[in-house]
Structure 1
Amino acid sequence: MRIVNDLSCDEYFTLRYNAAKQVGLSPIQKCTAAMPMLEYGMRGDACDEYVKIGSSTVIECLKRFCDGVVHLYEGIYLRKSNGEDLERLLRVAEDCGFSGMIGSIDYMHWEWKNCPVDWQGQFTGGHQGTAMVILEAIASFDLWI
């Protein structure tokens, strides 16, 4: 809900009415449509069943959602850490009894079904020779504040 509220500064993510005075899509519907595409690589037309949005609108939601998140959070969360960040994270972890820990790391292997043939050698993983991309995320306590 925080992301939905933060994105409401963009006119696209506000509740509007069309020319026939019918209520348009809510900001929650638009953000919810973008999530499965980001999380699971779901096709745009698959979202129609549970969010009730057409494929072209879902793709527009995804583009606007990604642009909005980058614009809003680039300076806070989507940046390289510095020495001050490292010191703060180590201090908080020490206070919690985790000496030397700076955060939690997670990763997933994502199968790239439409990987260009020329690139397949660079992205071939150990999983049956298919093209794979490894997505990594490092999270610290301050993401939940």
Structure 2
Amino acid sequence: MEDAVGRRSLSPLQKCTAAIRQLAYGGGADTVEEYVRLGESTARNCLHNFTAAIIDLFGDEYLRRSTPDDLERLLHKGEERGFPGMIGSIDCMHWEWKNCPTSWKGMYSRN
């Protein structure tokens, strides 16, 4: 792809893929180099621009404190699905593992 002055450039698809892979897999900017073919600093910039755009577009609606109605709705849904009181344990870090291998003890908890 060429940019506005005719130089070869990275495609928007490459840039978005780099950002989404970093978010999805939790890897650093240097982990997408071979897959997407862009350098570490470019991948870091892509992630920054991507997250800034998401915050800009959706921040007012989704990146806000929960209202009492939101909490009530989420608690009701959780209870319907067999997870009473799910607020505070969405990441499952507060659950006790009955059959957790002893070698993993404490690995997946905040104790």
Into which bin does the TM-score normalised by the smaller protein fall?
0.5 to 0.7
Taking the aligned partners of 2:78 and 2:36, their CA distance within structure 1 comes to 40
- Supply the RMSD in Å over aligned alpha carbons: 3.2
- Identify the residue that residue 60 of structure 2 maps to in structure 1: 75
Taking the aligned partners of 2:81 and 2:21, their CA distance within structure 1 comes to 36
The runs of at least 4 aligned residues of structure 1 exceeding 3 Å deviation read 35-39, 90-94, 96-104
Give the deviation of 1:62 after TM superposition. 1.3
* Residue 85 (1) aligns with residue 74 (2): no
* Residue 48 (1) aligns with residue 50 (2): no
What amino acid sits opposite 1:88 in the alignment? R
The structure with more helix, counted as a fraction of residues: 2
- Identify the residue that residue 43 of structure 2 maps to in structure 1: 58
Give the conservation status (yes or no) of the 8 Å contact 1:34–1:58. yes
Q: Structure 2 vs 1, CA of residues 35 and 107 (structure 1 numbering), >3 Å: closer, same or farther?
A: farther
The structure with more strand, counted as a fraction of residues: 1
What amino acid sits opposite 1:70 in the alignment? I
* Residue 29 (1) aligns with residue 7 (2): no
Instruction: State the Cα deviation string for residues 92-114 of structure 1 (Å, max 9, x = none).
Output: 345x4537444661168xxxxxx
Of the candidates 82, 85, 91, which is equivalent to residue 98 of structure 1? 82
Unaligned runs of 5+ residues in structure 2 are 94-105
SS at match of 2:38: coil
Taking the aligned partners of 1:49 and 1:58, their CA distance within structure 2 comes to 11
Instruction: State the Cα deviation string for residues 8-36 of structure 1 (Å, max 9, x = none).
Output: xxxxxxxx7322375x4333321221234
What amino acid sits opposite 2:6 in the alignment? A
Taking the aligned partners of 1:60 and 1:51, their CA distance within structure 2 comes to 14
Unaligned runs of 5+ residues in structure 1 are 1-15, 109-125, 128-133, 135-145
- Identify the residue that residue 11 of structure 1 maps to in structure 2: none
Taking the aligned partners of 2:7 and 2:59, their CA distance within structure 1 comes to 36
